């Protein structure tokens, strides 16, 4: 008679424990049906699902081995695995400046309410933010998303949910908004300060980003307020721009993973191209200010990059790179980013305006751009190891 047995091992970890257990099972001609191991602070938690024919004598050998190594071992006879189709699986990422037990408990409650069950938890980072990845089995994606959004709001943490599988790991192209995303500034506000029209321009910018004003109309009105600026202003403004914390790490890590990284902006090529060159960005897209005899005329040249324009750039760029749209990531904060966020395989609202946060499936509200790497399932330790091996 064949028995299916779950072997559970706990205790102080050390070299050779897993190998020793598996050699005993091999000698007993046991079958290994499943196995999972995690070590937390040198404490081993190992589960091996085995099948045994012809008696339980190998369990005595396992007990003796455990006694010699000073670890605990337990056995449970369970039902054999069935051939039923796998239930849906989801990856839930939880990010916060701090994550208290109550916050994590609220996330767990939301998963239960959505019909899912937590199968595995792994810590992704402990600084500059704390983040965990939870592997969820079962549940309904819309219900899970609704419940997790409620938990995110109630506990002031960021929560992202994605279908687990190959496509999640197959992302190859990232398109990032520039103003208030890749950088902390709004470039047009910096130019307006040089022109002495800050108040008028900032008011128009705020209304456009909140979705209260048509983007192209607002852009043309703001650009008109820059008329008369010397083109050399671009150099001063570019040197004054502040990258969002973690931006260099974000771009560097994505490049190491083989991603193409593009930036897109409703701002201007005179600044965006300089930022792209500094970070080694693969593609940069922005509006172009008209310059005549070294002076800004207050007009624009060529097509306008607004919300639909950003979505078109994502589509065209994915096609030119040979990347399906469901393998793309878009990151932005304003109303003119909504179309590209909804079009991408993974759209992430980064410290978004309220209208964007309410519409986006995934939001990251911490001030570190590299926190987005955790949503992609990348661990902080992996980032640091890569920096040590290749300190560029």
pLDDT digits (tens, 9 = 90+) for 174-217: 999 999 999 999 899 999 999 999 999 988 878 876 778 888 88
Which comes out higher in pLDDT, residue 202 or 141? 141
Is residue 160 within 8 Å of residue 341, measured between CB atoms? no
- Report, as an integer, the average pLDDT of 344-359: 90
> What band does 298 get if pLDDT is binned at 50, 70 and 90?
very high
Is residue 171 within 8 Å of residue 123, measured between CB atoms? no
> What band does 55 get if pLDDT is binned at 50, 70 and 90?
low
The pLDDT of residue 279 is above 90: yes
The pLDDT of residue 348 is above 70: yes
Phi, psi angle pair for 50, to nearest 5° = -125, 160
Catalytically active residues are 177, 179
Strand boundaries in the chain, DSSP class E:
2-12, 31-40, 43-53, 72-78, 89-96, 117-125, 130-137, 158-163, 173-177, 260-268, 283-292, 295-301, 328-332, 346-350, 362-364
pLDDT, the chain, mean:
92
Is residue 50 within 8 Å of residue 32, measured between CB atoms? yes
- Ramachandran region, residue 236 (left: φ > 0; alpha: ψ -120 to 50; beta: rest): alpha
Structural domains of the chain ordered from first start: 2-78 (3.30.70.260), 89-169 (3.30.70.260), 173-360 (3.40.50.1000)
Q: What per-residue string of b and e applies to 362-391 under the rule 16 or more CB within 10 Å gives b?
A: bbbbbebbbbbbbbbbbbbeebeebeeeee
pLDDT in tens, 206-247: 887 677 888 888 899 999 999 999 999 999 999 999 999 999
Which pLDDT value is given to residue 69? Answer: 95
Which pLDDT value is given to residue 216? Answer: 86
The pLDDT of residue 117 is above 70: yes
Which pLDDT value is given to residue 81? Answer: 79
Q: What global pTM score does this model have?
A: 0.86
> What band does 391 get if pLDDT is binned at 50, 70 and 90?
low
The pLDDT of residue 53 is above 90: no
- Report, as an integer, the average pLDDT of 326-352: 94
CA distance 389 to 10: 34
Which pLDDT value is given to residue 143? Answer: 96
pLDDT in tens, 146-172: 999 999 999 999 999 999 987 777 889
Residue 276 structure tokens: 């792209």
Which pLDDT value is given to residue 318? Answer: 96
Q: Which of 72-86, 142-156, 298-312 has the lowest mean pLDDT?
A: 72-86
Which pLDDT value is given to residue 392? Answer: 64
Q: What per-residue string of b and e applies to 57-73 under the rule 16 or more CB within 10 Å gives b?
A: ebbeebeebbeebebeb
C-alpha dist (Å) from residue 139 to 1, 110, 314, 377:
35, 11, 31, 21
């Amino acid at each position: 008679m064949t028995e299916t047995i779950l072997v559970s091992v706990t205790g102080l970890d050390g070299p050779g424990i897993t190998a020793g257990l598996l050699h005993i099972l091999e000698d007993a001609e046991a079958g290994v049906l499943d196995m999972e191991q995690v070590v937390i602070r040198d404490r081993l938690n190992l589960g091996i699902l085995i099948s045994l024919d012809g008696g339980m004598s190998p369990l005595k050998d396992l007990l003796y081995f455990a006694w010699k190594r000073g670890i605990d071992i337990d056995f449970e006879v369970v039902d054999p695995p069935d051939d039923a189709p796998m239930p849906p699986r989801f990856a839930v990422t939880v990010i916060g400046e701090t994550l208290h037990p109550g916050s994590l408990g609220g996330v767990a409650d939301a998963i239960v309410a959505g019909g899912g069950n937590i199968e595995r938890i792994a810590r992704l980072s402990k600084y500059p933010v704390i983040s965990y990845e939870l592997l969820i089995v079962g549940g309904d994606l819309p219900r899970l998303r609704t419940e997790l959004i409620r938990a995110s709001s109630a506990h002031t943490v960021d929560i992202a949910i994605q279908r687990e599988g190959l496509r999640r790991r197959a992302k190859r192209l990232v398109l990032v908004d520039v103003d208030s995303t890749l950088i902390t500034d709004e470039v047009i506000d910096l130019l307006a300060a040089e022109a002495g029209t800050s108040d008028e321009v900032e008011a128009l910018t705020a209304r456009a980003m909140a979705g209260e004003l048509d983007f192209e109309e607002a852009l043309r009105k703001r650009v008109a307020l820059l008329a008369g600026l010397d083109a050399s202003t671009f150099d001063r403004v570019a040197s004054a721009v502040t990258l969002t914390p973690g931006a260099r790490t974000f771009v560097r890590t994505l490049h190491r993973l083989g991603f193409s990284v593009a930036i897109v902006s409703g701002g201007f090529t005179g600044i965006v191209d300089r930022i792209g060159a500094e970070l080694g960005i693969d593609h940069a897209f922005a509006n172009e200010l008209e310059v005549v005899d070294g002076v800004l005329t207050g007009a624009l040249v060529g097509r306008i990059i607004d919300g639909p324009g950003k979505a078109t750039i994502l589509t065209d760029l994915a096609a030119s790179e040979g990347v399906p749209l469901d393998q793309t990531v878009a990151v932005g904060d304003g109303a003119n980013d909504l179309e590209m966020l909804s079009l991408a395989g993974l759209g992430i609202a980064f410290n978004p305006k309220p209208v964007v946060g309410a519409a986006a499936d995934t939001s990251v509200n911490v001030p570190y751009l590299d926190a987005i790497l955790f949503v992609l399932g990348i661990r902080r330790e992996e980032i640091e190891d890569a920096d040590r091996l290749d300190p560029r």
